[in-house]
Structure 1
Amino acid sequence: MPGQTKGRFTGWHMTGILVGFFGVVVGVNILMASFASTTFGGIVVENSYVASQEYNRWLEQAEEQEKLGWDAATAWRPDGRLAVKVTGAPDDVAVNAIARHPLGRMPDVPLAFEPIGQGRYLADRALPDGRWTLRLELSDGTNDWRREEALQ
């Protein structure tokens, strides 16, 4: 009876289905693991225990910084350089920054800012296109003010 075995579901069929299913699952897991390990190049903190010990000091620094009353607004210029408008700070404040690529694919770019009048400062170089995390620092020699912001 050759016609009866033609449409039967056998153990080989089930084996093929299981191997195919788990092959897809393992393949997707390997693909996602490779994406996860190659797309994030940055570190939030070097040592989480040490960072936890510094937390209260960081809060105190943030409160002192808030009492200064300083603020800064950043803007992109058409030439790719950043302009910073500083309010509440002394006229002789120094403005510096480090631009970090959020995924760590490009090297950090240190930026120095030159005063251009009326509390405005202009970066000494242009940043390449893309997303950047800017760590901005203002200092008058005795007081420091810091902020981190995303630039897009």
Structure 2
Amino acid sequence: MSSQQAPRRKPFTGKHMTVILVAGFGVVFAVNFLMASLATSTFGGVVVENSYVASQHFNKWLDEAAKEKALGWKVDVERRSDGRLTAALAGVPAYPTVKAIARHPLGRKPDIALTFQKEASGAYVSDKPLPEGRWILRFDIEAGGKIWRGEDQVEGQEVMGQPVP
């Protein structure tokens, strides 16, 4: 036999197992905390106040949407250089009342109520400018005794349909 012996390995103890468990669960907790904080920072709030009550109105909302779609009305929105919005209406009878609620998609900014008035050019222009950013406009257009509701999006970095460099 040789005088040199193989080096002895240290035994696996409870301290080693404790370190492995704490490190493993630490990684899991850190990832969960990161994901939860990212999720809550990007979701602005409640979609509906009471989901049960909303479910009771769902079929009525579907019927109203079908009637509105059958009207064939359309709206196209663009941002002007002064921040006001222009709404081009298609298929809408004469002398409509055009209103909209501008909602931030993530709920970070308060809703803004807009009323549109007809200009000499024939376009409908909002009564006030809309702040920069991405917005969802929920329109209520009333004309000829009928009501149409629809949505359109406005991006903050464009003026009259052209991106701003």
The TM tier, using the shorter chain, reads: 0.7 to 0.9
Provide runs of 4+ in structure 1 moved above 3 Å.
Answer: none
1:61 is paired with a residue whose SS is helix
Q: How far off is 1:16 after superposition?
A: 1.5
Q: Which runs of 5+ in 2 are unaligned?
A: 1-5, 156-165
User: 2:30 aligned to 27, 40, 47, which one?
Assistant: 27
**Rg comparison, structure with higher value:** 2
1:91 is paired with a residue whose SS is coil
Paired residue total: 149
Aligned-pair identity (%): 49
Cα deviations by residue, 1:58-102 (Å, 9 ceiling, x for unpaired) = 122122212322211111222222110011112210111111111
C-alpha contact (below 8 Å) 1:86/1:119 kept by paired residues: no
TM-score normalised by length of structure 2: 0.79
Is the alpha carbon distance of 1:118 and 1:60 closer, same or farther for their aligned partners in structure 2, counting shifts above 3 Å? farther
C-alpha contact (below 8 Å) 1:42/1:102 kept by paired residues: no
For residues 32 and 46 of structure 2, the distance between their equivalents in structure 1, rounded to whole angstroms, comes to 23
Residue in structure 1 matched with residue 12 of structure 2 by the alignment: 10
User: 2:141 aligned to 134, 138, 151, which one?
Assistant: 138
2:131 is paired with a residue whose SS is coil
Residue in structure 1 matched with residue 99 of structure 2 by the alignment: 96
Q: Which runs of 5+ in 1 are unaligned?
A: none
